[in-house]
Amino acid sequence: MRTAAAVLLALAVSCACVAQDAANLFVNPGFEEIGDNGRPVSWEPVNFGTGGAFGVGTEGAHSGQRYVFLSGTAEENRSCWRQHVLWPADARGVTVTGWYRTRGVAESRSKGASIRFLFNDDPKVWRHLRIETSWYPPSENWARVTTIFPVPQGTRDLVVELFQWYTSGETHWDDVAIRPATDNEMRAVALTGEAAVDREPVLGRNLPYSPADGERVSLNPPPFRWLPSGTGALYRLQVSRDADFSAPLVSQKDMQCCCEMLSEPLEPGTWFWRYGVDLEGWPTIWSQARQFELGAEAAPWPYPKPEAFQVSVPRPHLFITADQLPELRRRAAEGDLKSMAHGLVQSIRRRAGEELHPEPEMLPQDPAQRSIRYTELIRSTRPPMDLMEQAGFAYLLTGDEACGAEAKRRRAHV
């Protein structure tokens, strides 16, 4: 189970845009219909053998004449009112709203008033695909809650439990509702804080969005860059002539990085771009549309296509292929590369035999120290690695034995 942040309470305002007549899948949501056993019809009380109590109240209901309550006299008490809901196969999210109040319940992060969701794949089998719980702070007055969760694929029986969890005191529930969540509701809770879509870049930590909204770009195609949304996220990119992206020229998905370069230039004119975030179980969360202007004067900058990076079976050594080597060696011996080759050989000979950089220690686990140590490691190990490459290049170009020996010595040390 996971706890939902208190921000879910604030969603009551944003959810006001949902049609008031949206179908409520709960039966007897206001607890007004009472059966022969004195309990609300279609609701089952459960105390899990912990001594928690339950009942129907009539004093000060949120609406109508009745509400249900749960009570306990010790911290080991818990109880709930449970209802099974036959869930639509195509509904990817669930929204539950309701009203609650408490009496004598202490503030606690994972105790007290809560709603638990059990996502079952078969109404006839008590088998859970997932379990989620949302917690709510004590409230002497009736308070409205709105809780939204993604629904695991295959859910047909959604069990909702209105809880008082491991605490003394009372929790009252009234006027509850359940329905499939809208895409907008799911997007509102999927990504928050440092994972939010369209959040402002933090100076020194994030690079700005590119192209910026309204920017006249100098490269064609421009680089596309946005802020990451945490581990497990995959990204989409769309580039279109229209702000509604009804017919995007570029539409990519399943991207692991939050940046992209296109392999083909764009036509001059006005363009729009947006990125999307895909999280398992949630609909795509799209960013705002950003507009950019592309003039005919923009420098061409298409990124090479994947096939350009394929290495042939006879792999080249450094940047030289076998058929180029004789001519390069001739130029190094008597042509325009002679001075460069001589200087390269002399610089390697001066460094030959010097003490080699020791094997670096593992990076520390502390994030702050890890970043500092990583920078130090790169700055101290890259120059010796570059020298190893230069020694090998000098030997390849001139056949100098001392350069070849130094390249081997350094390679054996890595």
Average pLDDT value for the chain: 90
Domains of the chain, CATH where assigned: 7-190 (2.60.120.260), 194-307 (2.60.40.10), 314-413 (no CATH)
Whether residue 321 has pLDDT greater than 90: no
Please give the average per-residue pLDDT across 234-250, as a whole number: 97
At residue 319, the pLDDT reads 64
At residue 324, the pLDDT reads 85
At residue 19, the pLDDT reads 39
Please give the average per-residue pLDDT across 390-400, as a whole number: 93
**pLDDT tens-place string over residues 351-366:** 999 999 898 889 998 8
SS (H, E, C) the chain: CCCCCCHHHHHHHHHHHCCCCCCCCCCCCCCCCECCCCCECCCEEECCCCCCEEEEECCCCCCCCCEEEEEECCCCCCEEEEEEEECCCCCCEEEEEEEEEEECCCCCCCCEEEEEEEEECCCCCCCEEEEEEEECCCCCCCEEEEEEEECCCCCCEEEEEEEEECCCEEEEEEEEEEEECCHHHHHHHHCCHHHCCCCCCCCCCCCCCECCCCEEEEEECCCEECCCCCCCCEEEEEEECCCCCCCCCEEEEEECCCEECCCCCCCCEEEEEEEEEECCCCCCEECCCEEEEEEEEEEECCCCCHHHHCCCCCCCECCECCCCHHHHHHHHHHCCCHHHHHHHHHHHHHHCCCCCCCCCCCCCCCHHHHHHHHHHHHHHHHHHHHHHHHHHHHHHHHCCHHHHHHHHHHHHHC
**pLDDT tens-place string over residues 125-181:** 999 999 999 999 999 999 999 999 989 989 999 999 999 999 999 999 999 999 999
Whether residue 31 has pLDDT greater than 70: yes
pLDDT confidence band for 312 (50 / 70 / 90): low
Whether residue 311 has pLDDT greater than 70: no
Whether residue 333 has pLDDT greater than 90: yes
Lowest mean pLDDT among 242-246, 294-298, 382-386: 382-386
| 0.95 exceeded by pTM | no
pLDDT confidence band for 317 (50 / 70 / 90): low
At residue 367, the pLDDT reads 83
At residue 307, the pLDDT reads 80
